[in-house]
Chains A and B, each alone.
Chain A
């Protein structure tokens, strides 16, 4: 495999001088000019209406992301939000609104919050340790007691604690030999209800008794037919009621009243999605497509309250309704008003009133797993017909092609002139590429299976595709590739998402047009693969349709191509396609080649195996395939050039192990993925994760926590070939070198822990790079690579250009925080994309929140600054011209006078 090497230029050095000058920060008037932030709460698990006022002003939610938040009922905005611990202690198991306070139980902490000021009122540590092997936990709260019921295999551990002190009052274990992982259980205020389908029994356990035991009830007694074993079972409590549960077995769904003497079926709810009870009125929601119907029934009498029901259409493409919380109140003008809070399987939230949908929140965006910036199509008039001319077209072919393209251009221009009535077309019309290609469409894939297109100008959702069965791959990853960009005009751009089927776990593809947001192919572009995936690779070579084929490798290491027509591309380049695989938990990295493939029979052949020391492999980090390296070397103080070791096949492989002598060990290997050669390795003792790695050009920067000195550190590695270059035009992994590359390295102290890292990317790679650190404090810091240069001199001596003397602790000036006063919790990754402007780089930070901005790592060297004073220059020019004219007149007059003398 060969990599491109670019020409030497002095421009980077000039840029260094520029960027080492004053800080490259933001001016106060630039807030929101090219950045936006969207705050989310996450996937809602519990929700209650705030009881501090009638009608309620807020709705309190707790989410799977361990967030407790209050949403304004009026507009859905976040009134306040508390992000809790990311580990188990933060998980909110119980949420209740009691007067002006909100009570949560998470881990062993009982917290009470003020629902208006968001201040903590009380935090009580419950004297209990979680039982080992706990599968699920149910919490029940009374005025004086907290009852925790933990489900462990074949028994239930019930702990009763004092609410005000947290002391244990009672601790008992109830034998339940039938209890296993698949048993569905739920807790209502005083009772635990479990359904075990294999025994056809429903068990109830009253918690208030001194020596509780499970009471079995046959399922048949609830008027439910006992079906075959493998049908889905749902047991859930009903929001707003302390003693009702819903039991659904197969398609039969019943509302059951739980009381001291047993179970009593209240109503058959088959066909409905979710139910809630408010003031002894049962609200039930049914859904057909986007149309949602809420029906109200009086519980006591069974009378239908037709006027209190509502029928609405959910605003955007939506999943199925999962839960319903209802708040009803009397209007001042009389009559009952309804507020129904609905959460859906695509993680969207809707608040429905009698009049319709009041607001919706697209909470899917809180679980973004992959992002890609897609170029908007250029205006039809600007399309150059050469761009999409097939390389094999003959003379006549190219002539016909030209005529066709020009006709399409004319028709495009004409339709733009007339104006289309289609609203979608109108949206697309406003979504047009700007001159510097700064405006792009951000395609994001979320863990709910929803794929969204966001306008990077303002963060608006332009389109969304919901693939309900699409789930993340192992390790909570979803892959997103651009198979064809929008540069090939008559062909539509095409993106592909690789995930797995939610139920079967087999691979799944979603193929779509990233500009219009429509699926390509049958069934809306959703393609179930029917086999499990181990590796995917997007080819760098496109086929005749300008489509880059995607290589998929299944569990039995059989390579497959999507689309199947891309096989010819693979066969054409089979000698230069290499794959590597690392099995989870092992320390073996294996390389494969496609060299022995024949048409119709693609084959992976093992070419090398490396067994790495230092524990199992925890990560393999390659370089960006599209990366461009502009300068091949660095000028030293004596004017000689130190050439970079730019190996496009280099991957960073980390292994982490533990032993009693050195404690946690981290080993970083630099492996050539074509030959399997270990170029370098660095090992750190007494170092623990999380480890964040940035790998680009000839350098690697990684952060970790040093257990010994108890601080976060950043290590920077750089590889150099030396003062001569083996082959100045192309790089080959096979071109054996007599000497290994030179490794330069240095470590720095990072005063704050790091959540995620990334480096900036630009169009040509001329601009110096910024390393973006998402800090634990919620800020995102930009840091010039020059501060992390491993050649920073420790002692004096000949100074190289752009090298600052070494300081062990990195400074984190607030001017360099690109998020300024936004705090971004739970950042999972940072995505960067180049623009048409060499100096500018787009940055999308995702996690719980979305933050988008532009950064200028070498300042705006190719464009005038936005504070450039046009008026001053114009004024000075005009004044100079005027002065020249006036003085000319004066001079002429003087000369005339002189002549008369």
Chain B
């Protein structure tokens, strides 16, 4: 938990500036990161790593992919292949041509894998390094995966964690990309619902006392009424109908607006929950 916090801070200071900054330097953050053990991954000699000395001090030699890799793309490097399968959701209704033409797998440096009839794909010509593999589809969300290929061609897939790049949650290698559901590109139109209108506090505040005023006197039997009249209360006739109407409609229309506003405000919260 500690090192992740430091990484967040260090993000601001990845750059040098002429002015001194109050935040932490990046090296510290990196030092923290390298202490995370990778027991699940076989060790090998690390080549061309700047932080070699640091590693020696720690006394561990870990595969070059994990610490810090500057991938050199293209220059005579051995090429590897990433394999996997994209599962087409049952709710996908488009034609085969549209599905296969609009769905492909890509890495963050621009390699493509095209889908076969059964959904499997191969990304060829990938040099060793670390890549984010994503499915490009306009309708369905697919979780991206990070694929590490070390200099010996060993391939490991893990969940993408941009904030803590060293945190490893291993995934199976022939990748299995499953949709997490459709994209929701559109907002939903607010609809005028009668319950929204009635359950509005403003409406309740006006309507309930009104109802009490109107109905309560009638419920009483004539004797109590007479008693009440005798009590010489200030003239408590039924209020004028015009007033009722104006208050009802006036209150009603403003309360409707408020209801609408509340709805718009409540919407994003709902989304966050999802």
Contacts and interface: CB of A to CB of B under 8 A. Distances in A.
Given A661-B50, A776-B108, A711 B162 contact: yes
Interface stretch (B181-189, B200-208, B218-226): B181-189
B32 interface: no
A607 to B, nearest CB: 24
B136 interface: yes
17 contacts: A23-B187, A80-B98, A114-B117, A119-B100, A120-B116, A123-B114, A125-B125, A715-B15, A743-B19, A747-B11, A753-B108, A808-B7, A813-B271, A817-B183, A820-B186, A821-B139, A869-B192
A27 B189 contact: yes
A86 B14 CA distance: 30
Contact of B112 (A84, A121, A687, A879): A84
B28 to A, nearest CB: 14
Dominant SS among interface residues on chain B: mixed
B186 A887 contact: no
Contacts of A894: 240-241
Contact of B125 (A29, A107, A752): A107
Given A682-B15, A743-B17, A890 B242 contact: yes
Contacts of B163: 749, 808-809
A879 B249 contact: yes
A117 B108 contact: no
B140 to A, nearest CB: 10
Contact of B101 (A118, A680, A879): A118
A119 B18 CA distance: 54
Q: 10 closest pairs, A vs B, by CB? A: A887-B242, A80-B101, A117-B96, A820-B185, A28-B186, A821-B138, A120-B114, A118-B100, A119-B100, A814-B183
Interface string B102-125: 101010101110111100011011
Contact of B16 (A25, A683, A867, A887): A683
Interface string B164-205: 010000000000000000011111111010000000000000
A822 interface: yes
A709 interface: yes
Contact of A23 (B19, B70, B268): B268
A715 B81 CA distance: 33
Contact of B136 (A80, A745, A777): A777
Interface in B245-263: 245-246, 249-250, 253, 256
Contact of B14 (A117, A663, A680, A684): A684
Contacts of A475: none
Contacts of B256: 872, 876
B12 interface: yes
A873 to B, nearest CB: 9
A275 B33 CA distance: 65
A686 B11 CA distance: 13
Contacts of B268: 21-23
Given A814-B185, A815-B186, A708 B68 contact: yes
B186 A26 contact: yes
A125 B12 contact: no
A116 interface: yes
A517 interface: no
Given A107-B125, A661-B50, A21 B265 contact: yes
B15 A707 contact: no
A681 B19 CA distance: 10
Interface in A880-901: 880, 883-884, 886-888, 890-891, 894
B34 interface: no
B106 A883 contact: no
B11 A749 contact: yes
Contacts of A712: 108
A246 to B, nearest CB: 34
Contact of A776 (B12, B70, B106, B250): B106
Contact of A79 (B97, B112, B162, B246): B97
A108 interface: yes
Interface in B204-249: 240-242, 245-246, 249
A25 B186 contact: yes
Given A747-B11, A751-B162, A822-B138, 20 more contacts: A21-B264, A21-B268, A23-B271, A82-B114, A114-B117, A117-B117, A119-B100, A120-B115, A663-B70, A707-B71, A710-B146, A713-B11, A743-B19, A751-B160, A776-B134, A777-B106, A778-B136, A869-B192, A887-B245, A888-B242
Which of A708, A710, A808 has the most chain B CB atoms inside 10 A of its CB?
Answer: A710
Contacts of B146: 710
Contact of A745 (B8, B15, B116, B192): B15
Which of B132, B162, B268 has the most chain A CB atoms inside 10 A of its CB?
Answer: B162
Interface string A711-742: 11101000000000000000000000000000
Interface residues of B, number: 75
Nearest to B121: A120
A486 B141 CA distance: 46
Contacts of A354: none
Contacts of A86: 110
B159 interface: no
A815 B187 contact: yes
B132 to A, nearest CB: 8
A22 B101 contact: no
B11 A808 contact: yes
A543 to B, nearest CB: 44
Interface size grouping (class) on chain A: 35 or more
B246 A883 contact: yes
Contacts of B187: 22-23, 25-27, 815
Contacts of B11: 713, 747-749, 808
Given A681-B18, A682-B15, A777-B134, A85 B185 contact: no
Contacts of B130: 710
A115 to B, nearest CB: 10
B152 interface: no
Given A80-B98, A777-B136, A808-B11, A108 B264 contact: no
B165 A711 contact: yes
A820 B249 CA distance: 41
Contacts of A82: 101, 104, 114
A684 B14 CA distance: 6
Contact of A815 (B185, B190, B192, B242): B185
A85 B110 contact: yes
Given A119-B100, A749-B11, A880 B50 contact: no
Contacts of A89: 111, 125
A710 B187 CA distance: 33
Contacts of B134: 752, 776-777
Contacts of A682: 15-17
A747 B242 contact: no
B125 A108 contact: yes
B253 A876 contact: yes
B100 A80 contact: yes
Interface string B13-52: 0111111000000100010000000000000000000100
Contacts of A87: 110
B62 interface: no
B136 A823 contact: yes
Contacts of B121: 120
A119 B50 contact: no
A753 B104 CA distance: 16
Contact of A81 (B101, B189, B249, B271): B101
A22 B138 CA distance: 23
Interface string A15-37: 00000011101111100000000
A402 interface: no
Contact of A891 (B14, B101, B242): B242
A226 interface: no
A753 to B, nearest CB: 5
A884 B246 contact: yes
Contacts of A121: 116-117
A820 B184 CA distance: 9
Nearest to A683: B16
Contacts of A708: 26, 30, 68
A706 interface: yes
